[in-house]
Structure formats: C-alpha cells, structure tokens
Amino acid sequence: GAGVSQSPSNKVTEKGKDVELRCDPISGHTALYWYRQSLGQGLEFLIYFQGNSAPDKSGLPSDRFSAERTGGSVSTLTIQRTQQEDSAVYLCASSGGQDYTEAFFGQGTRLTVV
C-alpha cells in the first residue's frame, strides 16, 4: 500500500480480555517496529522485526504481550488479559527501500481498557 496501515483505529475492551492490533507495512519494507505511546509520554519501543531474523522483543513489558509477522509483511500485536495500564496508543512503523533509517508510521491504534 501507499503507507503504513493500522487497524482498528480505536479499540475499547474490558479488563481481562485479549486484543489483537494489526499493522500492514509499506510494501517491500523489511523492518517493522511497534511502539507504545501513553498519555503525555514519549515513544516506548516494544518489538522489532527485520526480514527473516528473530525479532527483537526486548521492549515487551510483560509476557502478556506478543507479536508476530507473517510472510515478512503484516504484523499482529496481541495483548492477553488486558489491564488498565495497557491503555495507550500503539504505533507501528516500517522502514526499508533506499533509506533504511527513515521510519514511516501508521496512524496508530488507540486502546482503551475499561
């Protein structure tokens, strides 16, 4: 696609439920990142995928968080047993092409846990 696409744009869920957030990166981009942005906070790195290499999961805050990337393209971030502190905007970005350093961001998914 023309840009990074994330869905849903908004998600309200009850505490304890599982949620899945989807990211469709720019076609051909081999690198994909997930970040979390809490209210008034900066960007918190969560996980990084690069091609077929094992993902860098060093930013995942707990074992309730997991992510996968199928076929080197679409990625899904899953949060199990959601807690109120998981409420945030989850941003996905991808990079690749001629300039691997520039990250292109999606619009984000605003997650609210009630």
Partner 1 sequence: GDSVTQMEGPVTLSEEAFLTINCTYTATGYPSLFWYVQYPGEGLQLLLKATKADDKGSNKGFEATYRKETTSFHLEKGSVQVSDSAVYFCALSDPGYIPTFGRGTSLIVHP
Number of residues that bind partner 1 (CB under 8 A): 24
CB of 106 to partner 1, least distance (A): 5
Check: CB of residue 95 under 8 Å from CB of residue 101. Answer: yes
Based on the shown chain and the rule CB under 8 A, indicate whether residue 111 belongs to the binding site for partner 1. no
Half-sphere exposure of 36 (CA within 13 A, CB side): 18
Q: Alpha-carbon distance 20 to 44, whole Å?
A: 18
Based on the shown chain and the rule CB under 8 A, indicate whether residue 45 belongs to the binding site for partner 1. yes
CB of 26 to partner 1, least distance (A): 13
Based on the shown chain and the rule CB under 8 A, indicate whether residue 112 belongs to the binding site for partner 1. no
Q: Six-digit token pair at 101?
A: 């350093």
Based on the shown chain and the rule CB under 8 A, indicate whether residue 107 belongs to the binding site for partner 1. yes
Check: CB of residue 24 under 8 Å from CB of residue 109. Answer: no
Q: Alpha-carbon distance 43 to 41, whole Å?
A: 7
Stretch that binds partner 1, among 14-22, 71-79, 80-88, 100-108 (CB under 8 A): 100-108
Q: Where do contacts with partner 1 occur on this chain (CB under 8 A)?
A: 4, 6, 33, 35, 41-43, 45, 48, 50, 56, 91, 93, 95, 99-108
